Amino acid sequence: MPITPQELIANLGDLPPLPQVATQVLRVSADPDATAEDLRKVISMDQALTSQILKISNSAMFGMMREVTTLTQAIMTLGFSTIKSVVIASSAKNLYHRGTVGLQERLIWEHALVSAIASRAFAKSLKFPRVEEAFIGGLLHDIGKSVLGVKFPERYGALLRTVYNEGAICQNMELEMFGFDHAMVGEALVSQWNLALSLQTAVRWHHDPIHASDDHRELAAIVALANHMALEQKVGIGDPAHLDGANQQAMEILRVGPEALSSLKEGILAAIEQDKSMIAEF
Ligand SMILES: [Fe+2]
Ligand SMILES: [Fe+2]
């Protein structure tokens, strides 16, 4: 019997909160009257975040042409919605790293970043209007794995090792062990963080985009394509063949045939290649 979201939260207990600075950045960037100065004030209270934003502003990932040395410059050039992505990326990274241990931790984080870059690139090529949302969806799709790693370090660490060493299907093992999988846990977290419903939906249905609600099915499909592609590139833990169904659904939802998909992927591979050093550093 499927578990209800209430039971899931009850089983998991408290979920990791979104750091306060991130909450404030989200609030300010959603306010149409907010200025770059308002955003600067909030971010500059967090030294680590400030230097991360500067570093990222200067990386190929965000395509900057000239050196960015101040936060104001970074905000002006990247824009509010990209800054929002960077701040969520930084919060997600902390959580990804608090979760599982050792090799798995690194692989899951790299998988998140590559999926984010690929999602954004798919969104751009397919003329999906909210590319930054696609980036965040890619970044957070497996965040439930980190929550499980934080909550059940021993059992979940063993589960991931089995997936990695024996090619088991992660979500099936999770369902057996806990009665819910990382997509459900991720949805619970993203909803607790008060992120958009579209993101909650994309995280929940990244293995079955066909089940996403009409309004958010395209975003779920983009994330599913990106997830599959990252695994094909051997970035992450898991066999892409286990997600061929999700990939097929996504192609139908987005009306992309096999040939169009492979030519899209060529361009996206170049984007990933360009951002490799950034991925290693982030
Ligand atoms: Fe997943
Ligand atoms: Fe994934």
Domain positions in the chain are 18-86, 99-281
Q: Give the Å distance between the CA of 100 and the centre of ligand 2.
A: 15
pLDDT in tens, 239-256: 999 999 999 999 999 999
Q: Give the Å distance between the CA of 73 and the centre of ligand 1.
A: 36
Smallest Cα–Cα separation from 79: which of 126, 34, 20?
Answer: 34
Q: Give the Å distance between the CA of 142 and the centre of ligand 1.
A: 5
- The residue-averaged pLDDT of 108-117 equals 91
pLDDT band at residue 282 under the 50/70/90 scheme: low
pLDDT in tens, 153-165: 889 989 998 998 8
Beta carbons within 8 Å of 252's beta carbon, 6+ residues apart: 210
Ligand that lies nearest to the alpha carbon of residue 232, given by its number in the listed order: 2
Smallest Cα–Cα separation from 16: which of 98, 80, 77?
Answer: 98
Ligand that lies nearest to the alpha carbon of residue 182, given by its number in the listed order: 1
CATH for 99-281 is 1.10.3210.10
* CB contact at 8 A, 212 and 204: yes
* CB contact at 8 A, 217 and 210: yes
Q: Residue 100 above 70 pLDDT?
A: no
pLDDT, mean over the chain: 88
